[in-house]
Structure 1
Amino acid sequence: MKRVYIVPHSHWDREWYMPFEQHHMRLIELIDNLIKLFKTDPEYKYFHLDGQTIILDDYLQVRPENREIIQNLINQGKLQIGPFYILQDAFLTSSESNARDMLIGHRDSKSWGKHMVHVGYFPDTFGNMGQAPQMLKQVGLDTAMFGRGVKPTGFSNSTSPEDKFSTEFSEMKWVGPDNSSVLGILFANWYDNGKEIPTDPIKAKAFWDKKLTDAEKSASTDDLLFLNGSDHEPVQMDLSKAIRTANELYPDIEFIHGNYDMYIEQLKKDLPKKIDEIDGELTSQETNGWTTLANTASNRIYLKQWNTKVSKQLENIAEPLATIASQKTDFEYPHDQLRYAWKWLMQNHPHDSICACSVDDVADEMITRFKKSNQVGKFVADAALNKIKGQLNTNKIPHNLGEIPFTVFNTGTSNKTGTVIAEIPIKKIKFNPNKDSSEKIYQALKNENTPKYTVYDDQNKTIPAEVLDSKVKFNFDLPKDKFRRAYIEKVIHVKILMENMKPVSWKTFKLVPLNIDSKVLQKNSMIHDGILENEFLAIKFSKNGTLSVTDKQTGHLFKDQLCYEDTGDLGNEYVYRAPKNSRPIFSSDFPNKIVIKENNSFVGKVEIKVKMRIPVSMNKKLKEEQEEHLDYRLRTAQRSGRFTDFTIQTEVTLEKGSRRIGIRTSFDNNSMDHRVRALFSTGLQTKEHYADSIFEVVKRPNSVSDKWKNPENPQHTHSFVNVHDKKVGVTISNFGLNEYEVDNTGKQIAITLLRSIGEMGDWGYFPTPGAQCLGQSVVDLGIAFHGSNEESRLQTFHDAFAAQVPFTIIKDEWNDGKIETSGCFVNVPSKEIKITAIKLQEDGNNVITRQYNLTNHESHKGFVIGGYVPYKSNILEKQFDRETANLKLQPYEIHTSVWRKK
């Protein structure tokens, strides 16, 4: 007998074509109706809360008085909850964000009881990450359900019988790059194939005849799944009657009001011995290429930049500093504050949010959430730094004539070379705003002569440094046991070079007045005869504004680096679409001006300024085609005949000891309906390339499927994209620029810097003037080069990781303490691994590290925390057996360790 499992649900996008609170109020109505239905209809058994525990928080925020009712429904298994906190977009959120979604979701689910749904649930994720099987297995899940990645899914979530997908059946074996595998279940007829089931026998017969036929085409068993609901779908109040009608109409089929766990349990019993296998990422690469939705990585880039900033603030600044402080002082690790910050951040991670395919109000609210999360992260970091500052043993550094100590931290988990600007107070005067004249204090400090300074390290050696300026400003302290204290201070800004600073380390310096020690750093220069160079690279600035770079270690010359390309865009927030028969506009076709901005012994900076002429927008026809809701592939609008200036300013920076060229690009966008990319020529011919993905350096083919119709092949990245052959390679790094494209031959890498579009897209016409991204933008990139050996290639990856985490500086006091003035919390000698987390155990006080293998071969974990013993763990941070410090990581392995003090 065939079994039809009907699972009621509502796919709950918290925000999308309406702002959050508009959807929120409808959620209240939905759950209120559910409560009523469970109370009045004993046959109504289950409702799936879309795999995300945040729905419970959202409901109880408005209906706190119903907590006991919700708890009882969960205890009875009627409300099916978890296992995630939110339904995140996998590719645009960091590795740790994906892990924390699982960790916090499991933790919240368990707090409600034992009825968590045991399914890795990705109903509408815009592609699925390759490491999902390994991550799911680590949290005790062996089944994944998803709607995209192996079959074309069009707008309005439409599918058609002609659509082909990569497996014979909707049930498949999904294998990750480390060979972890789970049962994969595709929503072949989408997650709304059982919505609005008729109760009238005639209508029900017509409904089920078609639906059963469609489902049977892709099912490998007689167990058929129908999802009773869709996006924000209200509860079907007469579902029990509809199921009774179906059972009466089809006596040879059992229609069951079920849940996912019931369905999967039976399905596993009935699966054929052999089902098709799919490997790694599921990104619809075997389709026509129009509905992969990868262009969501390039719209509203300011949101992606914010996401990178806040993710790094939590993962690589606040948590490592809080961990160091908790282990070396009496600082109490702020579990609740950090979890609160993570939740604010993750509320921006659903696919319609971080993918920025929503109305303008959603983007506006996201900025507020980013700021909230960032503020908490900064508060935690500052509190930890204050504790560390009080315990640094600065008195061991010679000082007696007015020196000022300060400490620089590299809180990232990769070696870092770069300049840092430290703001150092040299004098401050407290004042009472109600009694003292702040104006007199301000003017006195301003008129006081500022000594000249140089910088020494804690070994009394001078280091490359430059005092930039001085400033008088208001500031205040907030003592833990007293009222706030206001003061006016005079500060100086000092630029210093940090060379090859170890991961999670710190180093203390002293600012020395030159009238005490007259040694002055000799000022050499890094720019000679128009060439900017250090010990690794030599950069020549071409007449057309591009760069030619010689890698001194290989002797290879890389020409035509950094040309800007502008094209029209008549697509939407989901998909880029160039106008037919249009040609790109290149910055190299316009005059440019090159100016030296900085030139000393440790940094050289050159500005390239080019004024392009580009159309002001698409022509008027685009607006009409948008209002008609004409498919973007059928639009015929062209770029306007009116032109405007588009000025791009590029700062090219090279620092002493660095293998990476820093690029900061700024522009004031006053044009609409267009895309801007930075183009880099590799000069290489390859069939594949590599990119930073979720817990993986993923290898992707340059060429597309024979079925591919989209002239573009956009891809996702977080930190870098790399193209190399057997001799040399190029790594392009970025900050919050998540979309790139490598051409079929591997000769060119394109990074999207801006995409201006005026509508949301999908199932209706939703204008989004905010998505035109008018006004000033600043974006950061980098170029690095390497030779044939793996170590040099991995170094460029770590340089890309390090570039995303700024140095942290504190101004110290002279005191006795237990913490050495220079130290390293984690010893990481191997470049083959990447540490993504240094924190304390979620429900404990042991140190947690999470790391993964950057390579496709066995790798030594190769790092230790002095004075601690490691134990094997998993994403849920449960402690297992003790392990040795020289643990070997298997290819692509994600490994979590619990470190206990000896």
Structure 2
Amino acid sequence: MVKKVHVISHTHWDFEWYFTVNESSVQFVYHMDEVFRALEEGKLRYYLLDGQMSIVDDYLRFCPENKERLEALVQAGKLFIGPWYTQTDELVISGESIVRNLQIGLERAAQLGGAMKIGYLPDSFGQGKDMPKIYRGMGIHDAVFWRGVPNEKVQSRDFIWASEDGSDVTVANIKDGYFVGVGLIEKEEPETLVTQISKGAGTDQLLLPVGGDQRFVDFNLKDRIASYNEKLTDTELSESHYEAYFKAIHRKDLPKVSGEFISSSVSKIHRSIYSSRYDQKYMNDKLERRLIYQLEPLMVMAESLGIPYKKELLEEIWKLVLRNHAHDSAGGCNSDATNQIINERFKEADELSYSAVDYLTRKIAESRKTTQPNDLVFYNTLPYPIRKIARFEVSVTTPSIRLWQEGEEWACQILNTEKRYRGEIKRDESLYDPEKYYYVHTVSAEIEIPGLSFVTCQVEEVAEQAEFGRTTRHAIENERYRFTLQNGKAMLVDKASGAEYADFLWLEDGGDEGDTYDYSPAYHDDIYRLDFADAEVSSQTGELESCLFVSGTFAVARDLEDRKAGKRSAEIPYRMKVRLAKDTERIEFNLKMDNRAQDHRMRLIVQTDIQAKHSYTDTPFGTINRPVIDPYLHDWKKLNWREEPTAIFPMLHYLNLHNLKSSWTFLAKGMKEYQIVGEKFDQMAVTLFRSVGYLGRPDLIRRPGDASGNQYRYVETPDSQLEKELHFKFALVLDKTYNPAQIMRDYQHYAVSQPYYQIQNLNAFTTALKYFVSNPLPEKVEKPLEWQLSPRKLVFSSFSKTGKDGIAIRFFNPNMTEEVPEEKIHLPRKMKVAFTNLNGEALTEKIFTKDVLLGHFKPGEIKTIVVYPN
């Protein structure tokens, strides 16, 4: 049998890393000259541009005159582009973001001649378990990746990778890396190279990718192939591409596996990169929530009311965010200069997205049929009704307010008041006109809003002074919980079960002698517990919410030398607010810390009553359970693994521990890493942040050997010490049973705020855009359609425009093992409806209906329906 070696010429182009995107773009502009010459002159038959369209966009921005040349090579099947916009991280990026990445990448590639329909992620730090169903939902049947597959799970280089719902893709696992074929160019070892890539091969078809990080074009590839073929007797090398390779292996007789791949048995996987550069992960989480749960549905609502839908604006915001989802960028394992650019992209996306939300909410509010001063308009951007205690600000001329809706008074609570001046500023404030002062009240109120709609209340100005003073009590409570600080220790009473949890919440600080890829304990460590002893404590109680305010300093080691000496010479000031709102099942925390120390890791510890064997957390479109201890933790060195398989794991939005009697859920806004610790594995350890000063370090305790990243010199990253104020928002939910669909509804209720707008002329600076004048719409706004889309056992995923006039609505079953029988949703009125894949391609004919039968959901299954309101 003659082995067929598919030689695939490519480049792996990290557009940023220890260099910046600007530096690599210059190289890429000239690199493309070589690509054009090689393909047009026949030096190469095929070439792969790393599967991502962002670098193509950058090239055409500098060289628009070469667009037709590029299109011609793509259409001729010589140059392969797409399907991604950027090569995404798969473990700490939300499912809808991954879908947008592919949607934008495929659309952009189609505009330039067509995409390579291969799920190509050659260097991502681990493979998420939902990728097969995402790929199949996008019309992709094959995938290529390198890292994470454990030897004990499958040793074959080619296999079928399946999700719980039965979706599967054929995988080519390039076990030796996307750079293995460089040996063909640089060495005269044909037998050795073929033996290497044959190990684990399940067919007579072998892969040999020839390329590497920012590697130049190998103009002598044909000569090298010919030279090797002369020396080999039972093997034939030929130029090829991935589509031809997958066609050759036919999916037959390949082993089938499922699950995530985050093992370091073959390659480094960086199992603690999920906490590097927490500041960036916090911003990404905030922007994902705003884009998916606020801006996309709000733009659909606005269009139905006569405000044009700005597809290009939305797409440009997504592109800024997606550029930060590339595996290095999302990981945070970059130079300081690169991380500064990442932060600038986040800042730009933040400003564009919140300005879009502000503009639309104002335009709608000011275009209603009846408007009057002090109208306060609240919006629900989720397609199901909400009822919650919301916080907002109003500007009035009086020291207090009342809220009314159609003659009925709303319950509200003034939390804080500031007196401000609206006249021209002067150096001598005694010259200010007393008539030009006004009040800005921070208020909470109980609001109820239909799905994808708005409600209006009237602000009544009240001359009586509001009372909102704090007390020195160390306890707060609502109908469900009582939270107390006693001698610096957090105590919790769950009124539903009667259980009391003494000393259930504290922080842990330890040394970190790792790098921006991996946590590694200090060689001379000193780990200590931080509670709230000696803190200043006050509380504020009211009808709708109660808050406990805690402030103080944590004493920690300034650096590794201090830690070695047992000193705690640095003080980290902190402020924590604990909130209990009326009729809620959550305990909400808002923690700010001013980090003034280096080379350390800080974790939040939650003591539960669960002796866990597994943890549970959400994945892009599902749920996963993981063992609390890796079975290879004690013999990984004997097995020559690349790093210690500590049971540190990624999380997206929540972490759960449960048994038959109790369930504890941690809801996170930006924290992406956890470990289950304690002698009985009954403690959640959620990493708040890591503070390190190098991109890569050699000889770590958890990762022996060479440095990750650049092995030949230290790249200092003082900015990654994160010596600045850091903000952490999280919540705890206690329940009797574990219900993953309910947990995600709890998360959306907690994490998605309600935009609002007040009709007033006192304060021109409520938002950046308030200062600008704005015309109302020529036709007054009616109430939008009210949606009620909340299947009990499914998770709402997105509500966004697709095509010219369709609305894509997506749900998934988060349960890993249980099927969901017939589910249905009720539309606001009869509409044309069709089921589509994730990319909006029709799977069924359109029908005209008000009641949509979603049908049976397999475990983990995703379904998208497109409705046509017009």
- TM-score normalised by length of structure 2: 0.88
**Partner in structure 2 of residue 249 of structure 1:** 231
Contact 1:870-1:900 within 8 A present in 2 as well: yes
Shift of 1:798: 2.2
| Counterpart-to-counterpart distance in 2, 1:474 and 1:71 | 58
Change (3 A) 1:809 1:800: same
Shift of 1:8: 0.5
Change (3 A) 1:191 1:263: same
Q: 2:352 corresponds to which letter in structure 1? A: V
Contact 1:553-1:787 within 8 A present in 2 as well: no
Q: Which structure 1 residue ranges, 5 or more long, are not aligned?
A: 152-163, 427-448, 477-487, 621-636
Secondary structure of 2:502's partner? strand
Residues 729-755 of structure 1, C-alpha deviations (whole Å, 9 max, x = no match): 111111111111123844010111120
Contact 2:130-2:163 within 8 A present in 1 as well: yes
Residues 662-696 of structure 1, C-alpha deviations (whole Å, 9 max, x = no match): 11111111110000011001121132221122011
Change (3 A) 1:598 1:412: farther
Q: 1:893 corresponds to which letter in structure 2? A: E
Instruction: Please say if 1:546 is aligned against 2:489.
Output: yes
**Which of residues 179, 184, 191 is equivalent to 1:197?**
184
**Partner in structure 2 of residue 81 of structure 1:** 81
**Which of residues 759, 783, 787 is equivalent to 2:736?**
787
| Counterpart-to-counterpart distance in 2, 1:404 and 1:367 | 37
Contact 1:425-1:489 within 8 A present in 2 as well: no
Instruction: Please say if 1:514 is aligned against 2:462.
Output: yes
Instruction: Please say if 1:184 is aligned against 2:160.
Output: no
**Which of residues 220, 240, 253 is equivalent to 1:258?**
240
Instruction: Please say if 1:283 is aligned against 2:262.
Output: yes
**Partner in structure 2 of residue 609 of structure 1:** 551
Report which stretch shifted further, 190-199 or 96-105. Answer: 190-199
Instruction: Please say if 1:874 is aligned against 2:837.
Output: yes
Q: 1:193 corresponds to which letter in structure 2? A: V
Secondary structure of 2:32's partner? helix
Secondary structure of 1:601's partner? coil
Question: Equivalences for 1:206-355 in 2 at 5 Å?
Answer: 206=189, 208-268=190-250, 273=253, 275-284=254-263, 287=265, 291-327=268-304, 329-355=305-331
**Partner in structure 1 of residue 826 of structure 2:** 864
**Partner in structure 2 of residue 15 of structure 1:** 16
| Counterpart-to-counterpart distance in 2, 1:343 and 1:858 | 35
Contact 1:615-1:639 within 8 A present in 2 as well: no
- What number of residue pairs does the alignment pair up? 812
| Counterpart-to-counterpart distance in 2, 1:529 and 1:474 | 37
Q: 2:7 corresponds to which letter in structure 1? A: I
Superposed CA RMSD: 2.9
Change (3 A) 1:786 1:489: same
**Partner in structure 2 of residue 634 of structure 1:** none
Residues 240-296 of structure 1, C-alpha deviations (whole Å, 9 max, x = no match): 21112122222542211111111111122xx652x32221211117x49x9331311
Change (3 A) 1:278 1:414: farther
| Counterpart-to-counterpart distance in 2, 1:475 and 1:693 | 52
Secondary structure of 1:98's partner? helix
Change (3 A) 1:815 1:250: closer
Instruction: Please say if 1:173 is aligned against 2:160.
Output: yes
Shift of 1:418: 5.1
Residues 119-148 of structure 1, C-alpha deviations (whole Å, 9 max, x = no match): 111111111111111111111111111111
Secondary structure of 1:611's partner? strand
Change (3 A) 1:317 1:345: same
**Which of residues 722, 726, 729 is equivalent to 1:773?**
722
**Partner in structure 2 of residue 628 of structure 1:** none
Change (3 A) 1:475 1:73: farther
Question: Equivalences for 1:697-712 in 2 at 5 Å?
Answer: 697-706=623-632, 709=636, 710=644, 712=646
Q: 1:800 corresponds to which letter in structure 2? A: Y
| Counterpart-to-counterpart distance in 1, 2:245 and 2:422 | 64
| Counterpart-to-counterpart distance in 2, 1:362 and 1:67 | 28
Secondary structure of 2:247's partner? helix
Contact 1:413-1:834 within 8 A present in 2 as well: no
Contact 1:863-1:885 within 8 A present in 2 as well: yes
Secondary structure of 2:583's partner? coil
Change (3 A) 1:309 1:424: same
Q: Which structure 2 residue ranges, 5 or more long, are not aligned?
A: 425-435, 637-643, 697-707, 761-775
Residues 562-584 of structure 1, C-alpha deviations (whole Å, 9 max, x = no match): 20100000011111111246342
Q: 2:485 corresponds to which letter in structure 1? A: F
**Partner in structure 2 of residue 92 of structure 1:** 92
Shift of 1:552: 1.9
Change (3 A) 1:393 1:832: farther
Shift of 1:326: 0.9
Question: Equivalences for 1:12-91 in 2 at 5 Å?
Answer: 12-40=13-41, 42-91=42-91
Instruction: Please say if 1:893 is aligned against 2:827.
Output: no
Instruction: Please say if 1:659 is aligned against 2:585.
Output: yes
Q: 2:48 corresponds to which letter in structure 1? A: H
Shift of 1:421: 3.9
Change (3 A) 1:307 1:900: same
Q: 1:245 corresponds to which letter in structure 2? A: S
**Partner in structure 2 of residue 673 of structure 1:** 599
| Counterpart-to-counterpart distance in 2, 1:591 and 1:528 | 15
Residues 798-823 of structure 1, C-alpha deviations (whole Å, 9 max, x = no match): 222332222211124899987566x7
| Counterpart-to-counterpart distance in 2, 1:475 and 1:315 | 39
| Counterpart-to-counterpart distance in 2, 1:783 and 1:500 | 23
Shift of 1:499: 5.3
Change (3 A) 1:53 1:525: same
Shift of 1:829: 3.8
| Counterpart-to-counterpart distance in 2, 1:54 and 1:649 | 41
Shift of 1:410: 2.9
**Partner in structure 2 of residue 124 of structure 1:** 123
Q: 1:406 corresponds to which letter in structure 2? A: L
**Partner in structure 2 of residue 798 of structure 1:** 745
**Partner in structure 2 of residue 629 of structure 1:** none
**Partner in structure 2 of residue 757 of structure 1:** 692
Instruction: Please say if 1:722 is aligned against 2:704.
Output: no
Residues 444-488 of structure 1, C-alpha deviations (whole Å, 9 max, x = no match): xxxxx6363211234522322317324546799xxxxxxxxxxx9
Change (3 A) 1:640 1:593: closer
Residues 363-405 of structure 1, C-alpha deviations (whole Å, 9 max, x = no match): 100111112222222333233224422443446xxx8xxx621
Change (3 A) 1:677 1:417: farther
Secondary structure of 1:727's partner? coil
Report which stretch shifted further, 595-604 or 655-664. Answer: 595-604
Instruction: Please say if 1:645 is aligned against 2:571.
Output: yes
**Which of residues 667, 671, 682 is equivalent to 2:608?**
682
Contact 1:592-1:609 within 8 A present in 2 as well: no
Contact 2:607-2:684 within 8 A present in 1 as well: yes
Contact 1:146-1:186 within 8 A present in 2 as well: yes
Contact 1:559-1:681 within 8 A present in 2 as well: no
Contact 2:509-2:600 within 8 A present in 1 as well: yes
Residues 26-65 of structure 1, C-alpha deviations (whole Å, 9 max, x = no match): 111211111122233x251110011111221111111122
| Counterpart-to-counterpart distance in 1, 2:833 and 2:470 | 45
Change (3 A) 1:119 1:45: same
Question: Equivalences for 1:137-176 in 2 at 5 Å?
Answer: 137-151=136-150, 164=151, 166-176=153-163
Change (3 A) 1:474 1:831: farther
| Counterpart-to-counterpart distance in 2, 1:138 and 1:144 | 13
| Counterpart-to-counterpart distance in 1, 2:633 and 2:192 | 28
Report which stretch shifted further, 741-750 or 854-863. Answer: 854-863
Change (3 A) 1:459 1:276: farther
Report which stretch shifted further, 407-416 or 336-345. Answer: 407-416
| Counterpart-to-counterpart distance in 2, 1:579 and 1:279 | 36
Shift of 1:776: 1.5
Q: 1:759 corresponds to which letter in structure 2? A: Y
Task: State, as a whole percentage, how many aligned pairs show the same letter.
Answer: 24
